[in-house]
Structure 1
Amino acid sequence: MTGKSWTQWHTAYDDPDSELSRRLVAVRERIRTALDAAKPGPIRVVSMCAGDGRDLLGALDGHSRRRDVRATLVELDPELAARGRAAAAGTGVEVVQGDAALTDLYSAVVPAGLVLACGIFGNITEADMVRTIAALPGFMVPGGTVIWTRHREEPDLVPRINAWFDEHGFELVWVSDKQAGYGVGVHRLIGPARPLRTGERLFTFVS
């Protein structure tokens, strides 16, 4: 991980006109859409590098399926994890403080119907993006959904990210317009699910 202050980074959410706030609106909308489409019964959700969990928790607020959600949020920063834990009190959301890149942390909570990989692809190398995407079928049930984010600054890798998902058994459901200034993508697993490969590190944050 880098020395960036992730708690300070989150202050951009306080500005409703910031790119981060507008991206959050889009992510929450896509989470709600995925929950609307989920089959009756419990909905297993996993969020990697979850921050304080405001994307999922905000999407669940007032949603008709909120009581069906059983979610695990993984966040390394202790302050953000504590905030998320406090915000999730009384819900079916568990916050785990730990390194979201380590597959061992997910062995007891996958496969999931919805995986959130937000705030990751803008902070890791292309090789780690491919490694993470290739591992995602091990996190998911067949037909499961993954929601991810990536900035649209140059080099704009969103088209390549879409292609990498295609190569690893996913189909594109939705991607934000480039003119929005941020990238939010939704993919569905149409290829076979796989057992989670434990003992692996998927990515390392870089400057």
Structure 2
Amino acid sequence: MNVSVGQDWVRWHGDYEAPRSSLARRLAVVRCHLWRALGEAPRDPAGGRRLISLCAGDGRDVLPVLAAHPAGTDVRGLLLELDPELSGRARRTAGSMGLRSVDVRTVDAGAADTYRDVGRAHIVLACGVFGNLSDADMRRTVAALPALMVPGGIVIWTRGRGLGAGDRSDDVRDGFAAYGFLELAFVRPEDARFRVGMSRLRKANGARLEPGARLFQFL
């Protein structure tokens, strides 16, 4: 997670422990999408893949899937999380699962400079991000994602429905379509407010990250 005034993200993660909670249900969908992505995302010439998880929390959406999937050991994972307690948990979990190719960094995923030494990924996760951003930051982040990805790469994202009329996740879907992504899956439960999408970057579009720029800041 990124900085958000007044939000206790460690306590927020506790809701995952309630099996029928919205977060627990969302987690199951994200893991399912990641499992699929590990079978469908492109590979580099050596046969491996790179994965980046923005605002990764304690890594529970990524690490168990990498540990269980037949292709998981071929993934070089980078988990970015600003909260030191959560990133510490992710680091310990990756170690206990034998995921030696997973790098957990306690850094700000919203800063472009965080990605200076990061190669383009075959899979990107932006889960628990868009619902905490302004509309402008959401669009800026979606526009920047192609700079982090190889052509054909897959992004998995989440967004709550939001309050009031309409569904704010549709704004995110429109953003991905506008910036060259093809939607592969979209889950919108009738009895819950969470949404989970999966999209593929059609082709390289020349996007690049400007040094010193900010992609997003949590509200």
Give the TM-score normalised by the residue count of structure 1.
0.95
Residue 105 of structure 2: which of 96, 103, 121 is its match?
Answer: 96
Distance 1:193 1:56 in 2: 27
Render the CA deviation track for 1:145-172: whole Å, top value 9, x for unaligned.
Answer: 1101011232521112111111111111
Root-mean-square deviation (CA, aligned residues, Å) is 1.3
Identity %: 45
Partner of 2:190: 179
1:70 paired with 2:67, answer no
Render the CA deviation track for 1:160-197: whole Å, top value 9, x for unaligned.
Answer: 21111111111111110241521100111013243531
Render the CA deviation track for 1:84-126: whole Å, top value 9, x for unaligned.
Answer: 0000113111100011101211222220000000110111101
Shift of 1:39: 4.3
Q: Output aligned runs, 1:105-184, within 5 Å.
A: 105-155=114-164, 156-181=167-192, 182-184=194-196
Distance 2:131 2:56 in 1: 14
Shift of 1:27: 0.2
1:17 paired with 2:28, answer no
Partner of 2:11: 8
1:85 paired with 2:91, answer yes
Q: Is the 8 A contact 1:141 1:193 kept in 2?
A: no
Matched length: 206
Residue 58 of structure 2: which of 52, 56, 69 is its match?
Answer: 52
Partner of 1:36: 39
Find the residue that maps to 1:54 and give its secondary structure: coil
Which of structure 1's runs of 4+ aligned residues deviate more than 6 A? none
Q: Is the 8 A contact 1:140 1:193 kept in 2?
A: no
Unaligned runs of 5+ in 2: none
Residue 213 of structure 2: which of 181, 197, 200 is its match?
Answer: 200
Find the residue that maps to 1:174 and give its secondary structure: strand
Unaligned runs of 5+ in 1: none
Distance 1:94 1:180 in 2: 36
